[in-house]
Amino acid sequence: MSEPAQKSHPTFDLADRVVAAMRQHGSPSYPRAFEVWYAHLSGEMPAISMAMNAIIAGSDGKVGVADVDSLYDRFIGSEHLARQAERTSLQVLGEIDGLMSLVNQALDSSERYHGRLTAMSDEVPPTADRQRLREWVEALVMSTREEVVRKTQLESQLRDSSNEIRHLREALESTRAEALTDPLTGLANRRHFEEMLQKTIDQSTLRREPFALVMADIDFFKTFNDAHGHLTGDQVLRLVARTMKDKFKDKAVISRFGGEEFAIILPEADIVAGKFGAETVRQALLTRELIKRSTNENLGRITISLGVSAYRRGDTAGSIVDRADQALMQAKRDGRNRTVTEETLEATSRVA
């Protein structure tokens, strides 16, 4: 007689579905990818499901490393950080409430002490009555000692609360920095880029100052990633990020726009300066060879394509990004490993 089949647990069923879906769609199989697929198939995050379905529909069913990282950063990572920030904020508010309670205790204690001193000053015995005078002085000393002890305890508690609030504030600032940073490359993430781009547009409009925007994309990254694995792909992303940080001034805002694409805001730069900066990075990458850490294998050089646009009065974030993106697409059509500016693109269009 066969044993009755055990009823499967819903969580295990979902985990099996996640693994099967990852295999079906050629998804990488590291923890972050599992979390993305789990969120998608569980139905707990409709927004990530919509985005995942759009990726699947637009890429012949394939979901790569860049897609997974983008979905994680947009939906899951930001949610984790938001919850962490909320918890820390609540802790700060709790500490502030405790601090206010201690302050109120200190004020009440001071009032009571002042009241006792006032009452005792009205009852000072005559100097001739030495016994009563001695008792009065002893009562005054005892009351003062008690007040000193209470004040010392309150000062210690206030100091502890103040230090805790300082630590929590630092944690909150760290959480905010983490929420605006791409964890893989250490660059600004897309959220930070969008905030800074709007801020730069507002400043340029007010001060009538120029700025340039560079959009960059690693050439043949998906092919490279598929051939050598996502760990080596991560090494490529970090190499490009490090090269950009080495070559641009501190004033530049360098961000990982998504996947293998980067965006760079260059304040006070016109289209010529923007192209010069883009070419500096492109040329620098050509001098660097990528060595696979696990095997010490030389994988050759990494190339990037870049598009450059410059701020025009009346620009929105969408319009200036679109022009840089169009120039980037032209650089890819022209054979990759080159920089194209919006001016070159417009001149070509006029000739055509």
Parallel, antiparallel, or unpaired for β 304-310 and 339-341?
A: parallel
Residue 147 bears catalytic tag: no
Residue carrying structure tokens 């995942």:
52
Tokens describing residue 97: 């409430």
Question: Exactly one of 260, 268, 297, 342 is catalytic; which is it?
Answer: 260
How far, in Å, CA of 187 to CA of 173, rounded? 17
How far, in Å, CA of 10 to CA of 16, rounded? 10
- To the nearest 10°, the Cα dihedral for 86, 92, 96, 99? 150
Angle, CA of 170, 173 and 177, to the nearest 5°: 135
Task: State how far the alpha carbon of 124 is from the alpha carbons of 54, 114, 140, in Å.
Answer: 88, 16, 11
Long-range contacts: 342-350, Cβ < 8 Å, 24+? 342/271, 342/307, 342/308, 342/309, 342/310, 343/271
Tokens describing residue 68: 């997974």
Catalytic residues, by residue number, are: 260
